[in-house]
Amino acid sequence: MRRAALYLALLLCATSFRPGRAQDCEMIPAYSMYFGAGNGSSGNSILTFVEVEGYANIYPTDCALEGVTHQGSAYNDVDGVGNYWESGSAVCPSCYVYVLDYQTLQATPGVSYPWNYQAKVVCSQAGTIFNEAGQQKVSLVLPTGETSEATTNGALAPEVPFIATLEGGSFNGHQVQESSGGPGVNNCYWSGAPIPQYPVVQGTSWTVGTVNNQAAGANQYGYDTIGWNAYDLNAIATTGAAQGIKSGCVTEIYQFMEYWFPGVWDMYKYNLLTFTATWPPQEQESCRDEAGQGECGSN
Amino acid sequence: MRVTKVLIVIISLLGSCCALAQQNARKARYMKDAAVQHSGLTATVFANDPRPLLQATRAIAAEYGWVVDFEDPLYFSKFDTVDATDPAWRAANPSSKGTLNVAGGAFQSTFPEPSSSASSVAAEVALQKVVEDYNASGNPGKFVVSKEAGRRFTITGLEVKDESGFSKPVPALLDTVITIPLETRNGEEMFDLFLQTLSDTAHTKVVHGSFMTNLLRNSTVAAGGNGVTARSVLSSIVSQLDSQYQLNWTLFYDLDSGMYFLNIWPAMTSLGKGPNGNPNFAPLKRDDTAPVPH
């Protein structure tokens, strides 16, 4: 999104602006155009918007401008969709103008589409007093996938920290989050255990370009820490074992990964998270999307 | 004399067999999940678990979209605990002391069907009835319900059995008054400080369970206070964790280690049965305000 602010001083001396008054009226427009594009909320769609808003300052403030109006309009044409002007109501010069034009284009991943946008404000007396325009190409920019790399960090052991790397574009600074793909399976659970019977992801979000709250490589995010902590692993290997849980018990969690555009989360990846507890000695192997672009590791 | 010894051994063996049979029967009786049945103006929950009140209230919370936190009392007597050692494990580890579990079992309660699952009053009435029924059921512990906010409640254990089998009031761990300087900290640092302060003050070790690391490390939390209850600090921390889901806490007392496990998990809402016949759940989103159909 880009903010384009225009401060234009116009000295209007038309007699119709000062009926019965001795001085001229001065009008200073303060209008802005906002625009943006991102993935739509359903399927492969691109959402674009163009917005014009603002008002005009009138000096002196008691200047009478009977009959004078300002009207905002926005143009938002993405590959032929939305090739018309969306206009707001005509309002008094100092009144707030706000026009928002949303368009949705069904798109094919990897294809670029022309996008033309424009915003203007027309004064009934002075003509066009604000006018900005632009054009660019837009395309679906959802990540096409991600790889997962198991790493080590002694402070987190025996949980295994993973670093993920998004594919399909440049995504640093954007947000991703995990959502539940359904109740997980916990073969290490016994009745009365202090561990979840149906484990699910916690709904954490990460900023792409950071790992462990520090700047990282392009498109990386993390850690996504997977597995039992030391207390739970010990409980499984001692109390659980004494209640019939076998070494090698496997737990599964279903993780949907979603990418954030302003206003919408889009899912781009499904990850099966698995971790296997073994004893003695008490150890754990965790996997993130082992069958796909991920791997397994221990910490 | 020799005959007497043989008889004692035989009786002991018979007793052990019976005890093992009872344990096995107890384990076999546990339900995988509690069930809620609706019948006009009332609903009935059926549970069978070492902690049947926890199992029952989890099912009820998921059924209606409520958030229920749960706090174990500190069980210690033989009247509230049971030897839950697996026979095969016992045979392979004959010198081990085995393992204990809370001695709960079957429980059911019929409560007024909430006129609307969005009503916090109806939720409180239903949960009060379930807890009253539980406290009269003979299962371990006695509990109280307190309303935290909206449709969020805490169920706290306040009585256990002593070594003579009599009810004994016990302080709730999260009623412990603590002091933590009110500051903004990383979630993990804040939570570790909270657990350490609570453990030191209550003289009971409290540790946290799994699956919280990402959430804690990626959150910033402003919490603390001078002479405040641990529950109020915990509630503040949980409310600030950066999750899309509503979170609840469960405080388990582990009889073998003598520690409390404090877990923070997404509150769940029931989606009925899955394709394999198992119950299907989804985490309750923070912006979910609509009643959950049932």
Q: Taking a C-beta distance cutoff of 8 angstroms, is the pair A181, A254 a contact?
A: yes
How many Å separate Cα B289 from the centre of its chain?
Answer: 25
Mean pLDDT of the residues in chain A: 87
Q: Are A200 and B266 within 8 A, CB to CB?
A: yes
**Of the candidates A50, A54, A61, the residue with the CA atom closest to the CA atom of residue A95:** A54
- State how far the Cα of B39 lies from the Cα of B28, in Å rounded to an integer: 28
pLDDT exceeds cutoff 50 at A257:
yes
Q: Which residues of chain B have pLDDT under 70?
A: 1-28, 117, 287-294
Q: Are B257 and A198 within 8 A, CB to CB?
A: no
When pLDDT is cut at 50, 70 and 90, the band that residue A19 belongs to is very low
CATH architecture of A145-291: Sandwich (2.60)
Tokens in use for A202?
Answer: 């916690």
Q: Taking a C-beta distance cutoff of 8 angstroms, is the pair A132, A118 a contact?
A: yes
Q: Taking a C-beta distance cutoff of 8 angstroms, is the pair B207, B253 a contact?
A: no
- Domains of chain A, residue spans: 3-138, 145-291
> Which one-letter DSSP state was computed for residue B113?
P
- Indicate the residue of A194, A212, A228 with minimum beta-carbon distance to B254: A194
Q: How many CB pairs under 8 A join A and B?
A: 128
pLDDT by residue (tens digit) across A100-117? 999 999 887 667 788 999
Tell me which residue has tokens 């300052």.
A57
0.80 surpassed by pTM: no
The answer to whether B76 faces chain A, any CB pair under 8 Å, is: no
- Indicate the residue of A198, A228, A242 with minimum beta-carbon distance to B85: A242
Domain at A3-138, CATH from 3.10.290, 1.10.287, 2.60.40, 1.10.3470: 2.60.40
Pairing mode, strands B67-71 and B247-254: parallel
Contacts of B198 (CB under 8 A, 6+ apart): B173, B174, B176, B178, B206, B230
Angle at Cα A246 formed by Cα A245 and Cα A248, nearest 5°?
125
Find the closest chain B residue to A192 by CA distance. B50
Contacts of A247 in chain B (CB under 8 A): none
Cα dihedral sign, B93-B97-B101-B106: positive
Q: Are A179 and B49 within 8 A, CB to CB?
A: no
Contacts of A284 in chain B (CB under 8 A): none
pLDDT exceeds cutoff 60 at A10:
no
Q: Taking a C-beta distance cutoff of 8 angstroms, is the pair B47, B29 a contact?
A: no
Contacts of A191 in chain B (CB under 8 A): 27, 30, 49-50, 101
pLDDT by residue (tens digit) across A162-197? 999 999 877 888 889 999 999 999 999 999 999 999
Interface of B with A in 84-103 (CB under 8 A): 84-86, 88-89, 93, 96, 98-99, 101-102
Q: Are A244 and B256 within 8 A, CB to CB?
A: no
- Indicate the residue of B98, B99, B265 with minimum beta-carbon distance to A196: B265
Task: Report the gap between the CA of A48 and the closest CA in chain B (Å).
Answer: 26
pLDDT by residue (tens digit) across A114-166? 899 999 999 999 999 999 999 887 877 788 899 999 999 999 999 999 999 99
Tell me which residue has tokens 């943006």.
A36
When pLDDT is cut at 50, 70 and 90, the band that residue A40 belongs to is low
Tell me if residue A72 falls in helix, strand or coil: strand
Task: Provide mean pLDDT across the span A272-283.
Answer: 97
CB atoms within 10 A of CB B203: 7
| Predicted local distance difference test score (pLDDT) of residue A101 | 96
